[in-house]
């Protein structure tokens, strides 16, 4: 039995050693699952989540809101595709989730996004601030952060599977990637990944024609909402003071990238309804 556990652990270690890649900012990333596999599994998790929300009638269909979010995300994705050609064939889509209490938004591998009505209404966000949120979330996908999240979940699952093998419990050996894809919707990104998404996101929004100053006002609003207990969206983010200083320092550089005229969206975005 010890020999079996040793073989499993050795396989896990070998996987961890060879599974390294580099993020858009030059950071070394540990990958157990490939970005391509993350996209496949994320699609399944996303569709399952959307089906559940549809059954609960939680998907917003109001034409004004839909048009607003579709325009903002369309402009951001146009820039994302221009700078990251590998995302050109992603199935870009966005769901607007009717949840007045949740301050959150996300983008999975493959460009499947969601934003909650609560973050828009509670913070009284303008279009520039929404663009900063969605630019940040899109950056998570572009930097393969979903694959990183899934890799962490798989690493844990591998350990559980090793125990299952040792105890002859085959029921523990579940589909690692399917579990990880579901967990990627729930697990927070690391602080390093959040800082990376801040940097990529503010540039993406600026190139799409949205005011970079909105990145600062957005987080000021988020921090005020937090009180003694920060919103879920801020749970693993860098400290508020450091974040604002970092973003503020980037504003002059980003303003130089800001186009003189507002760019129209070129890439079509599917609205999940």
User: What does the alpha-carbon distance between residue 44 and residue 37 come to, in Å, rounded to a whole number?
Assistant: 11
Domain carrying residue 34: 2-272
Could you write out the DSSP letters of every residue in 155-170? HHHHHHHHHHHHTT-G
Q: Which tens digit of pLDDT belongs to each residue from 239-258?
A: 556 778 889 999 999 998 87
Dihedral sign for Cα 86, 143, 188, 198, please: negative
User: What does the alpha-carbon distance between residue 183 and residue 195 come to, in Å, rounded to a whole number?
Assistant: 21
- pLDDT given for residue 268 in this prediction: 76
- pLDDT given for residue 239 in this prediction: 57
- pLDDT of 169 > 80? The answer is no
Beta strands in 134-256 (DSSP E): none
From the DSSP assignment, how many helices (H) and strands (E) are in the chain?
10, 6
- pLDDT given for residue 189 in this prediction: 59
Any idea which residue has 């998404």 for tokens?
197
- pLDDT given for residue 211 in this prediction: 95
- pLDDT of 1 > 50? The answer is no
Using DSSP's 3-state secondary structure scheme, residue 115 falls into strand
- pLDDT of 53 > 50? The answer is yes
Q: Which tens digit of pLDDT belongs to each residue from 61-110?
A: 999 999 999 999 999 999 999 999 999 999 999 999 999 999 999 999 99
Total domains in the fold of the chain: 1
For residues 108-119, average pLDDT: 95
- pLDDT given for residue 160 in this prediction: 39
Give the distance from CA 147 to its chain's centroid.
10
- pLDDT of 37 > 60? The answer is yes
Question: CA 237 → CA 2, 123, 127, 194, distances in Å?
Answer: 41, 18, 22, 6
| Band of pLDDT at residue 165, cut at 50, 70 and 90 | very low
Burial 192-207, CB ≥16 within 10 A → b, else e:
bbbbbbbbbbbbbbbb
| Band of pLDDT at residue 193, cut at 50, 70 and 90 | confident
Question: CA 118 → CA 3, 257, 272, distances in Å?
Answer: 53, 31, 18
User: Which of 27-31, 39-43, 185-189 bottoms out in mean pLDDT, i.e. has the lowest?
Assistant: 185-189
- pLDDT given for residue 161 in this prediction: 41
Q: Which tens digit of pLDDT belongs to each residue from 206-242?
A: 999 999 999 999 988 988 876 544 554 445 555 556 7
Which of residues 163 and 188 earns the better pLDDT score? 188
User: Is residue 148 annotated as a catalytic residue, yes or no?
Assistant: no
Task: Retrieve residue 236's tokens.
Answer: 């693993």
For residues 255-272, average pLDDT: 78
- pLDDT of 59 > 60? The answer is yes
Task: Retrieve residue 64's tokens.
Answer: 């004004």
- pLDDT given for residue 19 in this prediction: 58
Give me the catalytic one of 137, 194, 196, 244: 137
Give the distance from CA 171 to its chain's centroid.
31
Highest mean pLDDT among 2-6, 147-151, 205-209, 225-229: 205-209
- pLDDT of 41 > 90? The answer is no
């Amino acid at each position: 039995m010890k020999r079996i556990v040793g073989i499993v652990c050795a396989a896990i270690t070998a996987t961890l050693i060879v599974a390294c890649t580099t993020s858009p900012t030059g950071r070394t990333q540990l990958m157990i699952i490939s970005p391509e596999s993350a996209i496949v599994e994320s699609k399944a998790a996303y569709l399952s989540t959307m089906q559940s929300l549809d059954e609960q009638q939680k998907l917003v269909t109001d034409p004004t809101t839909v048009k607003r979010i579709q325009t903002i995300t369309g402009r951001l994705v146009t820039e994302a595709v221009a700078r990251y050609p590998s995302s050109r064939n992603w199935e870009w889509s966005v769901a607007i989730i009717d949840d007045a209490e949740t301050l959150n938004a996300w983008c999975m591998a493959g460009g499947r996004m969601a934003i909650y009505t609560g973050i828009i209404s509670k913070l009284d966000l303008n279009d520039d601030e929404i663009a900063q949120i969605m630019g940040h979330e899109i950056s998570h996908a572009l930097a393969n952060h979903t694959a990183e999240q899934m890799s962490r979940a798989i690493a844990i699952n591998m350990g559980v599977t090793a125990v299952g093998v040792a105890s002859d419990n085959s029921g523990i050996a579940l589909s690692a990637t399917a579990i990880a894809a579901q967990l990627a919707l729930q697990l927070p990104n690391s602080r390093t990944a959040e800082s990376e998404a801040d940097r990529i996101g503010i540039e993406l929004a600026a190139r799409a024609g949205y005011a970079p100053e909105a990145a600062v006002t957005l987080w000021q609003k988020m921090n005020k909402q937090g009180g003694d207990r920060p919103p879920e969206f801020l749970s693993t983010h860098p400290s508020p003071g450091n974040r604002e200083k970092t973003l503020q320092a980037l504003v002059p550089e980003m303003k130089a990238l800001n186009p003189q005229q507002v760019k129209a969206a070129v890439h079509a975005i599917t609205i999940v309804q």
